Amino acid sequence: MTSDEIRRRFLDYFVKVLARENMEHIEVPSSSLIPENHPTLLFTNSGMVQFTPYFLEEKDPVSDFGSKRLCSAQKCIRTGDLDIVGISKYHNTYFEMLGNWSIGDYGKKEAVKFSFDLLTNKDYGFGLDPSHFYPTVFAGNEDAPEDLETIEAWKSVGIPESRIPRLPASENWWAPGPIGPCGSCTEVLYDRGPEYGPEEEVPGMTDNPRYLEIWNAGVFMQFNRDESGKLVPLAKLSVDTGSGLERLSVLLQNVDSNYETDLFRPIIEKIASLSVSPVDVRKVEIKSSIQRVADHIRASTFLIVEGLYPSNKDQGYVLRRLIRRIFDECVWKLDIDSSKIIEILPTVIEINKERYPELDKLDFITGVFKTEIDQYKLASDRTRSFIIKNYVKKGIKEVINPFDIYQSQGASRDLIENLANEQGINVDFSNFDNDVASHQDKSRSNMSQRFKGGLGDHSEETTKLHTATHLLHQALREVLGDHVHQMGSNITPKRLRFDFSHDKKMTDEEIKKVEQIVNQKIKESLTVNKVVMSKSEAEKTGALHFFADKYTDEVSVYFIGDSIENAWSKEFCGGPHVKNTSEIGGFKIIKEESVAKGVRRIRATNVL
Residue numbers in the known binding site for Zn(2+) are 466, 470, 573, 577
202 residue type, one letter: V
The amino acid that residue 560 corresponds to is I
CB 127 within 8 A of CB 10: no
Strand intervals (E) in 443-538: 486-491, 496-501, 528-534
Whole-angstrom distance, CA of residue 241 vs CA of residue 72: 10
Decide if 372 contacts 300 (C-beta within 8 A): no
**How far apart (Å, rounded) are the C-alpha atoms in residues 68 and 51?**
11
Give dist(CA 603, CA 595) in Å, integer: 12
E runs forming strands in 388-534: 398-399, 426-427, 486-491, 496-501, 528-534
CA nearest to 11, candidates 92, 70, 87: 70
CA–CA separation, 438 vs 279, rounded Å?
41
Sheet strands (E) in 30-179: 69-77, 94-102, 133-138, 166-167, 173-174
Query: How many CB atoms are closer than 10 A to CB 355?
Result: 15
Cα separation, 39 vs 540, whole angstroms: 23
| CA nearest to 177, candidates 144, 224, 213 | 224
> Which positions make up the binding site?
466, 470, 573, 577
Residues 6+ away with beta carbon under 8 Å from 459: 493
Residue pair 356/408 in contact (Cβ under 8 Å)? The answer is: no
Angle (CA) 472-473-475 rounded to 5° is 60
CB atoms within 10 A of CB 425: 18
